[in-house]
Chain A
């Protein structure tokens, strides 16, 4: 498959925070979920893709082109939905669309109006009267109306009700169906990823913890639970672990799980397990270190 987005050794140093040597790629026809905690570096990475934040080092290629040297032609083919809306509150959607469409050769008014009708977005109503969900839908309608080849979405489903979320996810699935386009979206809602993502990239404290196809999660990792007595001498093997007084649950590499635990203790992890336990593992070590230092 052709690669639509290629990030290699991308680094950005801020005061007290660093996007540290991140690399991953997204292929045509795929949806990649970009997950991590608040402040992990998701939005910064997205802004670097759009060249709104300059990278310190590394390379970003979109549609096989360098993202700074070919910024205009790349952005013409990108649809972007930010986490914070870019609307002027005292204006209307109609005015924003008039302002936006002059930049795009492929702008499709019929598609935009159809999406607005379907999502009940009043074109002449003031933006301050819109709910957060309506603003997100409006931005998504704008992003789709210029017929992009790559959609970059920063927590697009965060403010949406369950029905609208399913609608949006269906649209994203349809968007990539022809195999020529792709979606890169950051989210906290891991159930959305379970529904539609083909790839998942997990970022934590500016570093990529994991980037792999969804199918490989099952092949690579296992979720193990059991009584606390089963854990003796095996704690080091876990990537992340939660212990109670009598029971434990943790994420472990599948091959290690098969060696150390019984088959009935091993389960298939979902994205949330991967997210929680890979980060939890680190937090647990940190909190233990703090407790010891007291």
Chain B
């Protein structure tokens, strides 16, 4: 793990000045968003006691804002990966850089996972805080659905990046698969972050909840309600563990098998 941390430090050090300023600003904005979201949800919690209707109304608005923290935070991880692959026609310049260093491939994938955890942290905190809010204040169905949708969005993004940074980097030689993943990721981020999409999700969820004839929608909305409560914590934990397995443990196991080591 020490070498993985060194790699993470090295990757930050070697990033160019203008990239460094841009990424620094990017990170700062994400953290400001995160702090704002946490502060606002705290305010909603206090309101919830005195005026549940207003509290709920504000909470919906706040939860709509939360994908920005999750999406933008993790987009940094996506952005650097995408730029590297596009500029180096499938090769990661960081991998070229790391090839010469006294580190193993396992160290490199651990470093990438640590980087992803760092990028996901603001979103993760906001999500946990939202889930605490829904659990403690027994939020109504629509808030549970929103927070469930957030958890699902986070889980999908996290696993996609883990697949990309882990298995796809080492198993597939072609960069085509990675590019498809990146494009899906970008589209998903844009879809979730955009306000109209939020409205669509709200309509969709409301439709699912209201119309029991559309069984799939009904099941899906129930699933979101389920994820928006206590189960959200477990799913987040499972996602991080599965992500670690897909992007660290499994590739490392494959390397060891390929190299004839136990």
Name the B residues within 8 Å of A75 (CB-CB). Answer: 100-103
Name the A residues within 8 Å of B255 (CB-CB). Answer: 54
A234 at the interface (CB under 8 A from B): no
Name the B residues within 8 Å of A47 (CB-CB). Answer: 99
Which one, B9-17, B36-44, B181-189, B242-250, is touching chain A? B9-17
A119 at the interface (CB under 8 A from B): no
**Which of B13, B103, B258 has a CB less than 8 Å from the CB of A98?**
B13
Give the Cβ gap from A240 to chain B, nearest Cβ, in Å. 34
Contact A102-B6, Cβ < 8 Å, known A72-B102, A90-B19, A126-B16:
yes
A117 at the interface (CB under 8 A from B): no
User: Is B10 in contact with A90, judged by CB distance below 8 angstroms?
Assistant: no
User: Is A91 in contact with B17, judged by CB distance below 8 angstroms?
Assistant: yes
Name the A residues within 8 Å of B17 (CB-CB). Answer: 90-92, 95, 126
Give the Cβ gap from A19 to chain B, nearest Cβ, in Å. 15
B93 at the interface (CB under 8 A from A): yes
Chain B residue at minimal CB-CB distance from A102: B6
CB contacts under 8 Å to B, within A20-74, are 47, 50-52, 54, 68-69, 71-73
A257 at the interface (CB under 8 A from B): no
Q: What are the 10 A-B residue pairs with the smallest beta carbon separation, nearest first?
A: A90-B16, A91-B16, A99-B10, A86-B96, A99-B13, A80-B100, A99-B14, A75-B102, A76-B102, A86-B97
Contact A73-B16, Cβ < 8 Å, known A99-B10, A99-B11, A103-B10:
no
Give the Cβ gap from B4 to chain A, nearest Cβ, in Å. 12
Chain A interface residues toward B at CB < 8 A: 14-15, 47, 50-52, 54, 68-69, 71-73, 75-76, 78-80, 82, 84-92, 95-96, 98-100, 102-104, 126-127, 143
**Which of B9, B15, B260, B261 has a CB less than 8 Å from the CB of A88?**
B15
Give the Cβ gap from B25 to chain A, nearest Cβ, in Å. 15
Given known contacts A82-B99, A89-B16, what 5 new A-B pairs fall within 8 Å (CB)? Answer: A54-B258, A76-B102, A90-B15, A96-B14, A103-B102
CA distance A98 to B12 in the complex (A): 10
Give the Cβ gap from B116 to chain A, nearest Cβ, in Å. 19
CA distance A229 to B111 in the complex (A): 68
B1-41: CB near A (< 8 Å → 1, else 0) gives: 00100100111011111110000000000000000000000
B141 at the interface (CB under 8 A from A): no
CA distance A33 to B3 in the complex (A): 33
